[in-house]
Structure 1
Amino acid sequence: MDDSKIAVIDGDRLEVNRAFLPLLESNGLATFKALMSHPGHAVAKCAVKERNTVRLDLETESGEKSPFFLKRYAPPTVRDRLKAYLRLKRSTPGAWQEWHAMWTFLQVGLPGPVPIAWGQDGGSSLVLSEGVSHVMRLSEWADRNFGKGSHRNTQVIPAKHKIVKEVANIVGRMHSAGLHHQDLYLCHFLCGSKQDGLPLTLIDLQRVERHRRLPRRWQVKDLAQLHFSSAQYITRQDMGRFWKVYDSIYHTGRRKIPLRHSILRKSERIRRHTLKHRL
């Protein structure tokens, strides 16, 4: 993270991407309290009580409204602190982890949300990112065109091949950089506005971690999550396209066959867990 690009304001409660500081100031959102108390213009996601995401439509210099996403985190629970202690890790705010991951993605050239601001006060934290111009989540795109009950739109098959290769490219580069996502499901890829669904953007980076070299178990977990969420939409040929691109970026060598077996076993465990808990 380049500290020269970040402004620390509001009594150290808020860190802001300098390029967007005038925008926050002109919209009256240059304090932690203003962002934390903003009602939002639309609820984007509220899957768990520990955090919620709202969309803010902020007025830019041109007078037009642009979308931004504000994710707010409740203070860490005792369970969170205990988990961090048992893993010999410092308990860090989820907002900071996502803020740091956004900058890391930017640094290594991976397609993620543009970081705008993050802040913390009294255990609560928040992170603000620029809205991504997209048509829909990749899971929705796949279900619409290749899911059960769909008409299996043959006209989008060339687009599907491009998307499979681009997903492999993104994941391969992410793993090559020592990064793993931990929630690498299709729903966390956003399709672009072009007719073929590109470019893709990977979101929800709050659990991203980085290693000098990615441990095998994290590689397996990411790829198993991706397999589980895409298995009903892809063919054996699609798998071949994925692995050809992925292996060219993040070489698995002799481990290729055992790795794929591990991924399939882990994917099956995810499936059983999902059915058991009706997720």
Structure 2
Amino acid sequence: MKTFEFYKLENLIINKIYYQVFQKNNLLNIHSIENLKNPFYIKKKRYRLIRAFKIDNLSLFIKKYEKNLEEAESEWENLQLLWDMGFSTSIPIFFYKDSSIALIGTEEVSGKICLEIIKENSEKTQIVIEKIAEFLGNFHKKNLFHQDCYLNHFYWDDESKTLYILDVSRVIENPLFPLKYQIKDLSQLAFSFEVYLGKEAFFWWKFFWENYVKNYGLKNEKFLKVLVNIKKLLIRRRTIKKFLKGEEL
């Protein structure tokens, strides 16, 4: 569990831990932040632009939204919620929002994307999948649901033995019908096993499921498994339709 404190400078909110770094580098206004030079990473994803910069010893990732500004606000709130509840995710550094744009700054997550570790089929594959099952079982027990629960949103830091979950803008807490969201998370994850792991998918999904059931304390395992499989088929069908239409997945 980790709680952060923030300074508010008009529309700009800055994590107190990083305030001195921002002050030292003249980054206490949104104009200076937007005009940072020499990013070491750039990616355009639908309606947001992601850039990363080295500032002293800090690797700062900035997401800029020009549409769906409420998604940026949800992500900012959920980053803090997850840390408050004992789940590791990106560290929130700053947030800015006005009528036309929103920006979120986070610190680079340590470790390696779990998907890469699993696809390498190394001796760490079993550990990582077991950790994802443990994480998701505990996540769901606390009535938290990710809603974008694919393998590429989990990171594993072998040095600290920490599992991180990213892209948390859709996380929902205490929904009215939790089973609906539990099925959604599990079917998304099952689909990503199928897509990325090929012939190994069945074996590793069975291993994941056994560990998830144990960590969650699941009683109606067979019933849930049937519903997850049905939902997975619907996700597959929808994904194929998007692909055939040339839409971004």
Q: With structure 1 as the length reference, what TM-score do the two structures score?
A: 0.77
Assess, with a 3 A threshold, how the Cα gap between structure 1 residues 40 and 258 changes in structure 2: closer, same or farther.
farther
Q: Which residue is equivalent to 2:51? A: 54
Q: Which residue is equivalent to 1:62? A: none
Write the letter of the residue equivalent to 2:149. L
Say if 2:64 is the partner of 1:66.
no
Assess, with a 3 A threshold, how the Cα gap between structure 1 residues 172 and 45 changes in structure 2: closer, same or farther.
farther
Secondary structure of 2:162's counterpart equals coil
Match of 1:140 among 108, 111, 116: 116
Q: Which residue is equivalent to 1:85? A: none
Assess, with a 3 A threshold, how the Cα gap between structure 1 residues 242 and 201 changes in structure 2: closer, same or farther.
same
Within a 5 Å distance, the mapping from 1:1-279 to structure 2 comes to: 5-9=5-9, 11=10, 13-39=11-37, 41-48=39-46, 50-59=47-56, 65-76=57-68, 93-135=70-112, 137-143=113-119, 145-146=120-121, 156=122, 158-194=123-159, 199-211=162-174, 215-231=178-194, 233=197, 234=200, 236-254=202-220, 256-278=221-243, 279=249
Assess, with a 3 A threshold, how the Cα gap between structure 1 residues 134 and 272 changes in structure 2: closer, same or farther.
same
How many residues get paired?
A: 241
Secondary structure of 2:41's counterpart equals strand
Shift of the alpha carbon at 1:201?
Answer: 1.6
Write the letter of the residue equivalent to 2:104. V
8 Å contact kept, 2:3–2:84: no
Secondary structure of 1:118's counterpart equals strand
Shift of the alpha carbon at 1:214?
Answer: 6.2
Assess, with a 3 A threshold, how the Cα gap between structure 1 residues 6 and 162 changes in structure 2: closer, same or farther.
same
RMSD across aligned positions (CA) = 2.5
Summarize deviations over 1:159-214 as a string: whole Å, max 9, x none. Answer: 211111100011112112221111111111123255xx953321111111111676
Assess, with a 3 A threshold, how the Cα gap between structure 1 residues 174 and 23 changes in structure 2: closer, same or farther.
same
8 Å contact kept, 1:57–1:68: yes
8 Å contact kept, 1:54–1:69: yes
Summarize deviations over 1:128-169 as a string: whole Å, max 9, x none. Answer: 11111223x2223333x25xxxxxxxxx2x421111110001
Assess, with a 3 A threshold, how the Cα gap between structure 1 residues 43 and 261 changes in structure 2: closer, same or farther.
same
For the residues of structure 2 that align with 1:15 and 1:228, how far apart are their CA atoms?
A: 37
8 Å contact kept, 2:153–2:167: yes
Point out where structure 2 has 5 or more consecutive residues left out of the alignment. Answer: 244-248
Secondary structure of 1:183's counterpart equals coil
Write the letter of the residue equivalent to 1:238. W
For the residues of structure 2 that align with 1:127 and 1:72, how far apart are their CA atoms?
A: 7
For the residues of structure 2 that align with 1:140 and 1:160, how far apart are their CA atoms?
A: 9
8 Å contact kept, 2:137–2:215: yes
For the residues of structure 1 that align with 2:104 and 2:92, how far apart are their CA atoms?
A: 8
Write the letter of the residue equivalent to 1:42. F
